[in-house]
């Protein structure tokens, strides 16, 4: 019976609503929520649902989560949370809960980490540098370059760069970074999704994929040499292709995942297609991490109108990934290009 670490994220948002709502159904795993108990009890009372919190015991056998129950690791807030009202005083507590949940996975106490949304703005307003879950977890796990992958029932899109200003993206597309992103995506599809020979479609950075250097040199000078070397090593790579035609149905029918160069290049299409059903996965970490595809939805907190579909998908996919790690099918990573 696996244990899944669950973080509710921003206490003023819908994360707590999602946690107590999904707790009303049974799950084939023990859900261990890293949160302030008073926050969860208060939000359950506002939503009119029962809730029993049991302290986490790492030495006890894991048990399937029963309706109305959650296992908890207490992560106290500094100030009581009010739905819809951000409070920078609680920003450090949000980061602590995420760090503790990550550490529980690193220690083997939990098999995967599932995260509800945080509010990056209020964390930064509190004086804590924070660009996103992906970067925070990578630093916590001492990983230099994680890869963000979003998955819907019909599409997988990974990113070479994540939360960067657009003017910084071109400089960030280096041979080493591109190589790592491609190999990480390829190996992860093998290990977690059972795809024995992943077919990857790589988007160009520039319009028309650079137009043979007339609209930018990144495709010709950086992307093509890396992709050629990886093809020789056995990877099935297509591109670089113009991003404006990468997502047409005839192309998607022949590939297993798209690798986009920056955040909005890939995620705009994916969220248009499957918002609310998508799952955000951080690849390249020593732990399994999935997340919802939406934000904190402050105006919905405490109203009972929050949709749990993305969190339910994140939990289900985390369990599938946990089950898959016992039969990895990865290949050896080719060496970095010069």
The dihedrals phi and psi of 51, each to the nearest 5 degrees, come to -155, 130
Joined together, the tokens standing for residue 234 give 């056995």
Q: Burial, 1: exposed, middle or buried (Cβ in 10 Å; 0-12, 13-18, 19+)?
A: exposed
| Binding-site residue ranges | 133-134, 163, 208, 263, 271, 280, 289
DSSP label at residue 195: -
Confidence of residue 273 (pLDDT cuts 50, 70, 90): confident
Query: Is there a cis peptide before residue 213, judged by omega within 30 degrees of 0?
Result: no
- Beta-bridged to residue 259, according to DSSP, are 158, 202
Joined together, the tokens standing for residue 128 give 């804590």
CA–CA dist 255, 206 (Å, integer): 21
pLDDT at 327: 59
Residue 177 scores a pLDDT above 90: yes
| Binding-site residue ranges for substrate | 133-134, 271, 280, 289
CA–CA dist 34, 191 (Å, integer): 28
| Binding-site residue ranges for a divalent metal cation | 163, 208, 263
**Domains of the chain and CATH, by start:** 1-143+285-327 (3.40.718.10), 146-283 (3.40.718.10)
Confidence of residue 336 (pLDDT cuts 50, 70, 90): very low
The bridge status of strand 30-35 relative to strand 69-74 is: parallel
* pLDDT tens digits for range 59-114: 999 999 999 999 999 999 999 999 999 999 999 999 999 999 999 999 999 999 99
The dihedrals phi and psi of 116, each to the nearest 5 degrees, come to -90, 170
pLDDT at 158: 97
Residue 331 scores a pLDDT above 80: no
In Å, what is the CA distance from 25 to each residue of 32, 252, 261, 308?
A: 15, 35, 39, 12
């Amino acid at each position: 019976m696996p244990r899944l670490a669950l973080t509710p994220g921003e206490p003023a948002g819908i994360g707590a609503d999602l946690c107590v709502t999904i707790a009303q159904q049974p799950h084939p795993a023990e859900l261990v929520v890293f949160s302030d108990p008073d926050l969860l009890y208060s939000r359950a009372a506002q939503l009119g649902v029962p809730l029993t919190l049991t302290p986490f015991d790492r030495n006890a056998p894991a048990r399937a989560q029963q309706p109305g129950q959650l296992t908890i690791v207490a992560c106290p807030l500094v100030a009581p949370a009010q739905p819809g009202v951000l409070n920078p005083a609680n920003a450090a507590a949000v980061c602590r809960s995420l760090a503790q949940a990550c550490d529980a996975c690193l220690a083997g106490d939990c098999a995967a980490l599932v995260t509800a949304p945080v509010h990056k703005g209020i964390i930064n307003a509190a004086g804590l540098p924070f660009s996103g879950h992906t970067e925070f977890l990578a630093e916590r796990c001492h990983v230099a370059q994680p890869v963000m992958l979003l998955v819907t029932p019909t599409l997988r899109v990974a990113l070479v760069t994540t939360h960067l200003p657009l003017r910084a993206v071109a400089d960030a597309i280096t041979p080493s970074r591109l190589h790592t992103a491609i190999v990480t995506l390829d190996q992860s599809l093998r290990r977690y999704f059972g795809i024995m020979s992943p077919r990857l479609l790589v988007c160009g950075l520039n319009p028309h994929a650079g137009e043979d250097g007339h609209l930018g040199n990144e495709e010709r000078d950086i992307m093509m040499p890396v992709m050629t070397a990886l093809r020789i090593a056995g990877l099935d790579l297509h591109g670089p292709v113009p991003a404006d035609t990468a997502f047409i149905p005839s192309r998607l029918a022949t590939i297993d995942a798209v690798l986009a160069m920056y955040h909005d290049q890939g995620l705009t299409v994916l969220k248009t297609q499957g918002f609310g059903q998508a799952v955000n996965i951080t690849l390249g970490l020593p732990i399994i991490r999935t997340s919802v595809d939406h934000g904190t939805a402050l105006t919905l907190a405490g109203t009972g109108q929050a949709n749990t579909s993305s969190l339910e998908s994140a939990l289900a996919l985390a369990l599938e990934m946990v089950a898959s790690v016992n039969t990895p099918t990865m290949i050896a990573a080719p060496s970095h290009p010069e």
